[in-house]
Chain A
């Protein structure tokens, strides 16, 4: 466009608008980064509390709860007695659970003088099992899980023995406390949900949850 006599020169990139000599960053770029940063902070200020609110119950452990279920004379060694007690407070009947309680038995090489409280929650998917006196077994109505007198799995789909509750004796009353799970060798571990294996490598594949109580 200019005269033909002008020497051809290197094309210089024009400064972007708002650029001053010696600036490392243009105004436009500074404002873009500032606006995006502020937007990100505002978004995080909304999202993070909401997410924290929703996932907080995973890390919260409730108060340890003990409930008396009857005098020691009620429980014998060779059969179970069914007791119903509150496991979750504040929701009425839906918070109640059932356990089968007996005195520990020397025949089964258990620690003497203790009480065994077996949860009726099936270790397959959580249906309520029933102790059948005639067979001496626990039987689940949903998918046919069968457990022996101690709660060890002897048939059907369950993956581990029945859960148990901690027990103690106070003022001549047997009290049941927090739930715990057991391995196939009847070693106590922290409570697992039904369907989760216990013992060995499974302790890592189904890690213990912070919302449960330590095993006795």
Chain B
């Protein structure tokens, strides 16, 4: 890893310089402190100095109690393989799309009424009367399509780069669950405006659920909360859309990211492997060659 400039690294994370390495040249010791007393800072200067250090001191105060700097350093400055490219940003892009959905969703919920008689009117109120309401609603509406597109592109990247293979199978499984949850969000969110399109699309979607043998009919009764689409259906979809599934998505994104950090990312398949380092021949080890020559892992042994 190339050395990062100290300006980019927060002070608590900086490596302490080794003796003689710091940029300050060694000052000659003063001959006589009585003849040349060091300048004492005034109270104001000391206060100013303390004020300057306050932000970093408070960060250090928290870090001493949380001990997160090691984790943060490992996470932010972790090594990535050669050949990492723009395709590797699709996962983060999907997450940003989710964050956008979460934020706009929270603000839409402040104006939305999940009642069959008022839902459409409340959406119309958001679009027509609320300041920037049409923009926020549009961000949520179009952002949902963006998130579905991005999650599929991210899945395709993982598949075609072979990044689902050992030891990352579990992360693939978590990703598939996240895909299903995202589709659940798209399905339950579609009903909420309660206009003709969302009503009939939800009827068709619930009936497709019902075509599964044996459990299908009960599943569609569960989704509708009864034999017909009714008042409870809308509030049920609303609760699933804004409470149940987002919580599960947040938890699983956490697990997904943890595994990415734990296992690291893969190099693209077109990258050649580094030349393998040659270990010392076994005979040499048996002979008990003195010094470093016995260590096979340092790569400096004779080929």
Contact = CB atoms under 8 A, between A and B. Distances in A.
**Does chain A bind chain B?**
yes
B230 A95 contact: yes
Contacts of B206: 126, 193
B227 A191 contact: yes
B226 A192 contact: no
A128 B216 CA distance: 22
A106 interface: no
Given A125-B208, A127-B200, A209 B116 contact: no
A205 B213 contact: yes
Interface string A66-93: 0000000000000000000001101110
Given A192-B217, A205-B213, A90 B231 contact: yes
Interface stretch (A18-26, A32-40, A41-49, A52-60): A52-60
A93 B228 CA distance: 13
A9 B211 CA distance: 72
Q: B204, B217, B220, B227 — which one has the most chain A CB atoms within 10 A of its CB?
A: B227
B88 interface: no
B210 A62 contact: no
A53 to B, nearest CB: 10
A121 to B, nearest CB: 9
Interface string B219-254: 011101111111110000000000000000000000
B211 A142 contact: no
Contacts of A212: 227
Given A194-B207, A196-B216, A207-B214, A58 B221 contact: yes
B26 interface: no
B218 interface: yes
Interface of A: 54-55, 57-58, 60-62, 87-88, 90-92, 94-95, 125-128, 142, 191-196, 205-209, 211-212
Interface of B: 116-117, 194, 199-200, 203-204, 206-208, 210-211, 213-214, 216-218, 220-222, 224-232
12 contacts: A61-B227, A88-B228, A90-B231, A94-B116, A94-B194, A94-B229, A125-B208, A126-B207, A195-B207, A196-B216, A209-B218, A209-B221
